[in-house]
Structure 1
Amino acid sequence: MTRATAFWVQAPGQGMLRTAEIPEPGRDDVVIRTLHTGISRGTESLVFRGEVPVSERDRMRAPFQEGDFPGPVKYGYLNVGVVERGPSDVQGRTVYTLYPHQSEFVVPRSAVAPVPESVPARRAVLAGTVETAVNVLWDAAPLVGDRVAVIGAGMVGCAVARLAGGIPGAQVVVVDVDRDKAEVCERLGVAFAQPDDVPRDRDVVIDTSGSERGLQLALESAATEGEIVEASWFGDRSVRLELGGAFHSKRLTIRSSQVGMVSPRRRGTRSTADRLALALRLLDDPAFDALLTGRSSWRELPEVMAAIASGASPGLCHTIDWGDAA
């Protein structure tokens, strides 16, 4: 039996590399050799810190997760690799899979999505992020000429802003406390503002900040009868909002957006596979390289994950290179 290397969260705040046994593939399976994985800063940090609420542990399971929260657990879903063995239509192809950090693995053919040849393999790790952004925008449904505010310049917020910026006449501003994110927003072709300078009366406000203050700022930025789409996930943290003031007089609405199900606006006509294929096509855009802000060898993954989860390693998408892990 073939052996591979995988990353596990042994216990909250403790990660390690472990040996994984690779089974022989079945007739409808593919064998993938991983090229790159990406770290989803928000969700994977919550998992690493052991902050997945007991009530959400079943819903939060990744498609190929092993173990259970809070640990030991093998978790992750941003994986790009090459098909080493499989059906002729994908043999040798670069593919995206919702698989954890592991050097080699076997999954059903139906679980992989071919990466367009025009999309570099490392950029393709953003497919899950862009897929989330697609779902957020299907939920938010901005229109031509809308004034859009995205609160939080993380991976998802920046992806939402880039896609929303393609709507004719749309005025998109990303709001973040970190001045350094202004450079990223410039590369994405959208405006940047700090919280004190956020424009008001936005037709669409999307919060991706993962912070209590960010959501409050989203409420303050919305136009009358506006809808605030909450795309963050707070894990087991409580959030306190000030719902006095203009909240009722402006008839504001807060609604959640989550990638686990296709947005109701498209659920009758799009599958999750359709949504992922769209995200991969949208990544044929060099501007998304602005979201790739760090890279490390798989050997450093335990230390890298700990630094990201603690906030000691800032940035957007940190990728892990597995090319020499065979």
Structure 2
Amino acid sequence: MLNLGHRASVCGGVTSHTATASAGFTPTGRATATGTATAYWLREPGRGELRAERLSPPGPDEVLVRTLRSGVSRGTELLVHRGGVPVDQRAAMRAPFQVGEFPGPVKYGYLSVGVVEEGPTALRGRTVFCLHPHQTAYVVPASAVTVVPDDVPHRRAVLAGTVETAINALWDLAPLVGDRVAVVGAGMVGCAVARLLAQVPGVEVTLVDVDPDRATVAIALGARFAVPGEAPRACDSVVHTSGTGSGLRLALGLLAPEGEVLELSWYGDELVQLPLGGVFHSGRLAVRASQVGRIPSGRRRSTSDRMALALRLLADPAYDALLTGESDFADLPAVIAALASGELPALCHTIRYAEEA
């Protein structure tokens, strides 16, 4: 069994390069005086490593961020890890500060929380969220960071990108008072959607998953729970987040006539089969995609507004139910390999960096 508490040069098929201080960077520390940091790279599908990154001094409208925590997105990041990004979607799937190209070598990730060490006075010393890959320190435009409210712990703040996706989903779904809604798939996004739905007056939300242990998480989020065979029927709408064809087929089967499935899963290069010859037509059912890359038409909000809202909502301690494990940054290559193999079960696994406040 993989022991994530120990560092190894090769573990689970993933190479971890640990450099010495003389090489100009420290795997778990802040940027050194030579202007370098350490980043996680996917060298090729299934094989990750830590690499030195040279940092340029921040310009007048830039910030130097020292990372405190980052989070691993089990869905998208593990799809990238296995090399599952289709060729025709590689441009669309680029992360804001991605370096390299799919399938690799590529530096990918987007759940990072750190403290601003250099930059505009108003930001210096503030804890911020940024859609940046896993890296001990980085320089980005000041406009790319969002201040974390004082009442949001920085470990919980890594969920901002996930809650942002859930906000976009509710803007797409527009649930009405008294609606019966099922959320199929109790992963990070599904759980965040369930929490938001549970706070809409009169909405009856059920979180559906094949893992009965997710019942405890559902209760913490204020939702009901059901395994697939016990999921409620005649739902006004269903939000699908499981990333599986079987989950999407189940979601269609839970709808009332003229109901709609809001599809948040992204399947990469996987083909999905659906039974469209029966109740789909007679029941006038619908499947509609929701994707965080675009704010729904009619919503007069910017992406900055949406991110700031996500961070404000994270003052809610119920979201701690999504934080199910943590490891040191130096162990990240082995952690991602263990998450990908299923050896390490988690909703959101967070990564600790040295000198965490």
TM-score norm. by structure 2 comes to 0.89
Query: Which amino acid letter does the alignment assign opposite residue 291 of structure 1?
Result: L
Taking the aligned partners of 1:223 and 1:312, their CA distance within structure 2 comes to: 38
Taking the aligned partners of 2:237 and 2:312, their CA distance within structure 1 comes to: 25
What are the equivalent positions in structure 2 for 1:270-309 lying under 5 Å apart? 270-309=301-340
Note the C-alpha offset of 1:315.
Answer: 1.5
What are the equivalent positions in structure 2 for 1:149-298 lying under 5 Å apart? 149-266=182-299, 269-298=300-329
Taking the aligned partners of 2:354 and 2:191, their CA distance within structure 1 comes to: 28
Note the C-alpha offset of 1:244.
Answer: 2.1
Taking the aligned partners of 2:308 and 2:109, their CA distance within structure 1 comes to: 19
Taking the aligned partners of 2:236 and 2:343, their CA distance within structure 1 comes to: 35
- What percent identity do the matched residue pairs reach? 61
Note the C-alpha offset of 1:10.
Answer: 0.0
Point out the structure with max Rg over C-alpha: 2
* Root-mean-square deviation over aligned CA pairs: 0.9
* Among candidates 67, 90, 100, match of residue 67 of structure 1: 100
Q: Which residue in 2 is equivalent to 1:316? A: 347
Note the C-alpha offset of 1:303.
Answer: 0.5
SS in 1 for 2:251: helix
Q: Which residue in 1 is equivalent to 2:88? A: 55
Taking the aligned partners of 1:198 and 1:277, their CA distance within structure 2 comes to: 34
Q: Which residue in 2 is equivalent to 1:133? A: 166
Contact 1:139 1:264 in 2 (8 A): no
Taking the aligned partners of 1:243 and 1:111, their CA distance within structure 2 comes to: 43
Are positions 1:17 and 2:50 aligned together?
yes
Deviates more, 1:123-132 or 1:245-254: 245-254
Taking the aligned partners of 1:239 and 1:313, their CA distance within structure 2 comes to: 27
**Residue-by-residue CA offset, 1:254-309 (whole Å, 9 max, x unaligned):** 0101101112241xx10111110110011010000000001000011000011112
Q: Which residue in 1 is equivalent to 2:146? A: 113
Structure 2 spans left out of the alignment, 5+ residues = 1-33
Query: Which amino acid letter does the alignment assign opposite residue 353 of structure 2?
Result: W
Which consecutive aligned stretches of 4+ in structure 1 deviate over 6 angstroms post-superposition? none
Q: Which residue in 1 is equivalent to 2:23? A: none
Note the C-alpha offset of 1:324.
Answer: 4.2
Q: Which residue in 1 is equivalent to 2:69? A: 36
Contact 1:139 1:265 in 2 (8 A): no
Note the C-alpha offset of 1:312.
Answer: 2.1
Contact 1:210 1:232 in 2 (8 A): yes
Contact 1:138 1:265 in 2 (8 A): no
Note the C-alpha offset of 1:311.
Answer: 2.2
Note the C-alpha offset of 1:223.
Answer: 1.1
Query: Which amino acid letter does the alignment assign opposite residue 7 of structure 1?
Result: Y
Note the C-alpha offset of 1:314.
Answer: 1.4
**Residue-by-residue CA offset, 1:152-171 (whole Å, 9 max, x unaligned):** 00000000000000011110
Structure 1 spans left out of the alignment, 5+ residues = none
SS in 1 for 2:327: strand
Note the C-alpha offset of 1:88.
Answer: 1.2
Taking the aligned partners of 2:143 and 2:248, their CA distance within structure 1 comes to: 38
Taking the aligned partners of 1:153 and 1:200, their CA distance within structure 2 comes to: 18
Contact 1:76 1:98 in 2 (8 A): yes
Taking the aligned partners of 1:281 and 1:129, their CA distance within structure 2 comes to: 13
Query: Which amino acid letter does the alignment assign opposite residue 247 of structure 1?
Result: F
